[in-house]
Amino acid sequence: MDMNQTSVRRNIPIDTLRGMACIFLVAYHVIGITPESGLRLHDGVLKEANDLLAYVRMPLFTFLSGFVYAWRPYRDDWQKFMHGKVRRLIIPMLFVGTVFACFQAITPGTNSMVADWRFLHLKPVAHFWFIESLFLIFLVLVPLEHFRILDRRLGLFAVFVVSALLFVSNAGTPWFSIAGAAYLLPFFLSGLYCSRFPLEFRHQRALGAIFLSFVIMYLLLYGQESIGGRRSFNALVIGMVSCVALLYIRFESGALASIGLYSYTIYLFHVFFTAASRIFFKSFGLKHIGILFVLGTIIGLAGPVLVDLVASKFTLARLLLLGKGPLKKGPIPAVNPAG
């Protein structure tokens, strides 16, 4: 299937990677960001795999956002473009993020809560930082696209170099998720480049598999100690190589692609369901880590899909919960926030 087709026809390899990214993300929050959260693991295979996937998880999400953005990029009407991004990103972030912060504050057994409510969303709430950062990236894209800087390989590469320097310099502040945008931008631009200027050559899949194998071996042999922080040069290289390798492999899975259709909704709502499943099953005395992990991951994926199916039927719910436009007749396609 053509990598450059638009959302009129689904791109199964891309939807497959979206589904994979969703599983990585949901599993991450099921296991826990720290040993004091989630399943509260201090060691073991699950924790080690979770830590290593930090170098792939959000880079892959962002790379795919950049890749899909290239299908329907900004061209002329910046007001219409940004209005769409406010609807798709900011409104659900504010509404769902605030609901999530309130649930954290009143629900026993949650891992954390807002430190200062006066700065709610000025400093991002939990995982909603990604949405705020992505919105900032779109703000940056408007002038770059307006002056056609990203229409040329050299221009796009020059902007990428600047973004890479910001990445490794650890520039930014948590306010308004500016630091998050600096972290994500190189991966977004990499995805945009691969979509806008695709490299076609023989044995792409084999080369992708080889590069991915090298990354996996490197992570297993050397681990976090040799890579450094998430904004180190090594982390940037590993994230980019992983994303490009996965793209070249062009792996197709109907099951993963079905999950990928709801990637944005899963991102928005999975934490409600992972936390609820953990609290629920532990309250009944279930302590087996493997079972809790599997159940939490399944529920964390299935719950948001149910939310999407129900909320998509009501105009107000579509706007507040999903960032979608008014209800229209006919089938409702799943839309990526970068599209």
pLDDT at residue 7, rounded to an integer = 41
Structure-token pair, residue 54: 């930090």
Tell me how far apart the alpha carbons of residues 219 and 56 are, in angstroms, rounded to a whole number: 11
119-122 long-range CB contacts below 8 Å, 24 or more apart?
A: 121/93, 121/94, 121/97, 122/175, 122/176
Task: List, for residues 251-262, the tens digit of each pLDDT value.
Answer: 999 999 999 999
Between 8 and 266, residue with greater pLDDT: 266
Q: Give the model's confidence band at 176: pLDDT under 50 very low, under 70 low, under 90 confident, else very high.
A: very high
Checking if the pLDDT of 339 tops 50, the result is no
In this structure, the number of other CB atoms found within 10 A of the CB of residue 333 comes to: 11
**Who has greater pLDDT, 109 or 328?**
328
The one-letter code for the residue type at 95 is F
pLDDT at 110 over 70: no
The structure tokens listed for 193 are 């480049």
Whether the per-residue pLDDT at 309 is higher than 90: the answer is: yes
Residue 212: pLDDT over 70: yes
8 near 2, Cβ under 8 Å? no
105, pLDDT greater than 60 = yes
Show Cβ contacts of residue 84 under 8 Å, excluding neighbours closer than 6 positions: none
Mean pLDDT of 37-47: 85
Mean pLDDT of the chain: 90
What pTM was computed for the model? 0.91
Angle between helices 263-283 and 91-106 (to 10 degrees): 10
d(Cα 183, Cα 185) in Å, to the nearest integer?
6
Cβ-in-10-Å burial (0-12, 13-18, 19+) of 142 comes to middle
How many whole angstroms separate alpha carbon 44 and alpha carbon 40?
11
Q: Where does residue 258 fall: left (phi above 0), alpha (psi -120 to 50 degrees), or beta otherwise?
A: alpha
CA 320, chain centre distance (Å): 20
In this structure, the dihedral spanned by the alpha carbons of residues 226, 230, 233 and 236, taken in order and rounded to 10 degrees, is 120
* pLDDT computed for residue 108 by the predictor: 63
217-271, pLDDT tens digit by residue? Answer: 999 888 777 888 889 999 999 999 999 999 999 999 999 999 999 999 999 999 9
Backbone angles phi, psi at 15, to 5 degrees: -65, -35
3-state secondary structure the chain: CCCCCCCCCCCHHHHHHHHHHHHHHHHHHHHCCCCCCCCCCCCCHHHHHHHHHHHCHHHHHHHHHHHHHCCCCCCCCHHHHHHHHHHHHHHHHHHHHHHHHHHHHHCCCCCCCCCCHHHECCECCHHHHHHHHHHHHHHHHHHHHHCCHHHCHHHHHHHHHHHHHHHHCCCCCCHHHHHHHHHHHHHHHHHHHHHHCCCCCCCHHHHHHHHHHHHHHHHHHHHHHHHCCCCCHHHHHHHHHHHHHHHHHCCCCHHHHHHHCCHHHHHHHHHHHHHHHHHHHHHCCCCCHHHHHHHHHHHHHHHHHHHHHHHCCCHHHHHHHHCCCCCCCCCCCCCCCCC
Average pLDDT over residues 27-31: 94
